[in-house]
Amino acid sequence: MGPMKIVVRTPNWVGDSILALPAIASLRDNFPGAEVWIASRAWVRDLFPAGDGIAGTVTLPDRADLKTLKRASRELREHRFDAGLLLTNSFSSALLFFMSKIPERWGYASDGRGRLLTKRVPRREIEPNLHQAHYYLRLVDGLGLKTRPPQIKLTLSASEKRAARARLRSLGIRAGRPLVIIDPGASYGPAKRWFPERFAAAADRLRTRRKAEILLVGSESETALAEKVSAAMKTRPHSLVGRTTLRELLGLIGQARLVLTNDSGPMHMANALGIPVVAVFGPTDPRLTGPLQPPAAVLKKTVPCWPCLYRSCPYDHRCMTGISVEEVVEASRPFL
């Protein structure tokens, strides 16, 4: 008989998947001889390369209807997993593990899926304002397993670092100057985005005062947003928006002196690489999803309607309008 095989269904968002790393590491600690696999959507898969404690990855469909669940369950059955840990809360993810005939299915009892789980942890016992990383660890603890301290860490290979340095050189970015990476987007929705003209003004001041090189990053869908930032700057920045894979973006962030961002996946990517972060928060609560560890600075305004978690602000977006350019520049100063 071979080693025990455990599959972990990771969250669908890049940031949440990074915050789940301590829980995944704790699971490995409790089953040192087991093969730990990852089941994830394609856009977060590259956060979990094979090796370093991960045996392999199963890529799940982008949506969860009956047809795709049947197809995904057939693939999971072929691996003959002994247990599955659900870091997602949806009914469909528990149904997938049930359809895949995974004997042990562990997760939070949420979304009416308790009967699909063999071990369930009640969510009602979770205290409010619990950071997402602790939320995932609390699930592991609730299963009666030991947990490690909540520290997130991503590593880059030597070849990834070399490729990032070469990419920066090809853009004409000078190695002797501090590199500031700006991520003006947020896939959750426009309510989480600080304003393009303010990102532009902050970038101009960092370029002038700190002799910083400015690089814009983001997904292909954020190209128009990044162009607004570029057009509003006195000197156009370098840009790789829509032109990097997830691992390439990690490599570039690893070369930065500072990442200026909204509440987004790249914020957590930088934090997991130990790169200083200045994060602008609007409708979301940094106590729940903010940078987990230093070096980081968070800027937010507590307004009467906060936190609303709206994707688009139906009012005057005062949680973001209240954050000035100079506040962001001043928060950046210690890191440069």
Q: Which residue carries 């700006």 as its tokens?
A: 182
Q: pLDDT, tens digit, for every residue of 93-110? A: 999 999 999 999 999 999
Is 149 part of a structural domain of the chain?
A: no
* Residues 121 and 164 reside in one and the same domain: no
* Residues 219 and 134 reside in one and the same domain: no
Q: pLDDT, tens digit, for every residue of 264-318? A: 999 999 999 999 999 999 999 999 999 999 999 999 999 999 999 899 999 999 9
Q: How confident is the model at residue 184 (pLDDT cuts 50, 70, 90)?
A: very high
Its sign, for the CA torsion 161, 199, 221, 47, is: positive
* Residues 177 and 77 reside in one and the same domain: no
For residue 89, pLDDT over 70 is answered with yes
* Residues 178 and 315 reside in one and the same domain: yes
Q: Of 101, 117, 142, which residue constitutes the final position of a domain?
A: 142
Q: How confident is the model at residue 171 (pLDDT cuts 50, 70, 90)?
A: very high
Give Cβ neighbours of residue 274 (< 8 Å, ≥ 6 apart).
153, 295
| pLDDT at residue 217 in the model | 98
* Residues 125 and 245 reside in one and the same domain: no
What CATH number did the domain enclosing 104 receive? Answer: 3.40.50.2000
Cis check for the bond before 103: say yes or no (omega within 30 of 0). no
Is 153 part of a structural domain of the chain?
A: no
Is 151 part of a structural domain of the chain?
A: no
For residue 134, pLDDT over 80 is answered with yes
For residue 178, pLDDT over 80 is answered with yes
Q: pLDDT, tens digit, for every residue of 230-277? A: 999 999 999 999 999 999 999 999 999 999 999 999 999 999 999 999
* Residues 136 and 166 reside in one and the same domain: no
Q: What is the DSSP letter of 195?
A: P
- Asked if 247 and 265 touch (Cβ cutoff 8 Å), the reply is no
The continuous run of DSSP H or E covering 7 comes out as strand 5-9
| pLDDT at residue 126 in the model | 77
For residue 175, pLDDT over 90 is answered with no
Total Cβ atoms within 10 A of residue 48 = 24
| pLDDT at residue 195 in the model | 98
Is 147 part of a structural domain of the chain?
A: no
* Residues 123 and 237 reside in one and the same domain: no
* Residues 138 and 166 reside in one and the same domain: no
Q: In what order do the strands lie in the sheet with 179-183?
A: 238-239, 213-216, 179-183, 258-262, 277-280, 296-299
| pLDDT at residue 52 in the model | 75
Provide the percentage of residues in the chain whose pLDDT is more than 90: 92
Cα angle for residues 190, 196, 200 (degrees, 5° grid): 155
* Residues 188 and 315 reside in one and the same domain: yes
Q: What is the mean pLDDT of residues 66-77?
A: 96
Provide the percentage of residues in the chain whose pLDDT is more than 70: 99
Which parts of the chain fold into alpha helices (H)?
Answer: 14-19, 21-30, 42-45, 66-79, 91-99, 132-142, 158-170, 196-210, 223-232, 246-253, 265-273, 286-289, 318-321, 325-332
Is 273 part of a structural domain of the chain?
A: yes
- How many domains, the chain? 2
* Residues 136 and 19 reside in one and the same domain: yes
Is 148 part of a structural domain of the chain?
A: no
Residue 120: give the domain boundaries: 5-142
Q: Which residue carries 């101009």 as its tokens?
A: 204
Q: Of 115, 142, 169, which residue constitutes the final position of a domain?
A: 142
Is 259 part of a structural domain of the chain?
A: yes
Tokens of 301: 């305004």
* Residues 173 and 233 reside in one and the same domain: yes
Tokens of 80: 């003959």
Q: How confident is the model at residue 1 (pLDDT cuts 50, 70, 90)?
A: low
* Residues 170 and 296 reside in one and the same domain: yes
For residue 74, pLDDT over 80 is answered with yes
| pLDDT at residue 124 in the model | 78
* Dihedral angle of Cα 15, 18, 19, 25, to the nearest 10 degrees: 170
| pLDDT at residue 50 in the model | 86
Helix, strand, coil share of the chain (percent; to 5) = 40, 15, 40
> What is the average pLDDT score of the chain?
96
Q: In what order do the strands lie in the sheet with 119-122?
A: 56-60, 35-41, 5-9, 83-86, 104-109, 119-122
Q: Of 113, 142, 171, which residue constitutes the final position of a domain?
A: 142
For residue 176, pLDDT over 80 is answered with yes
Q: What is the mean pLDDT of residues 22-38?
A: 97
Is 10 part of a structural domain of the chain?
A: yes
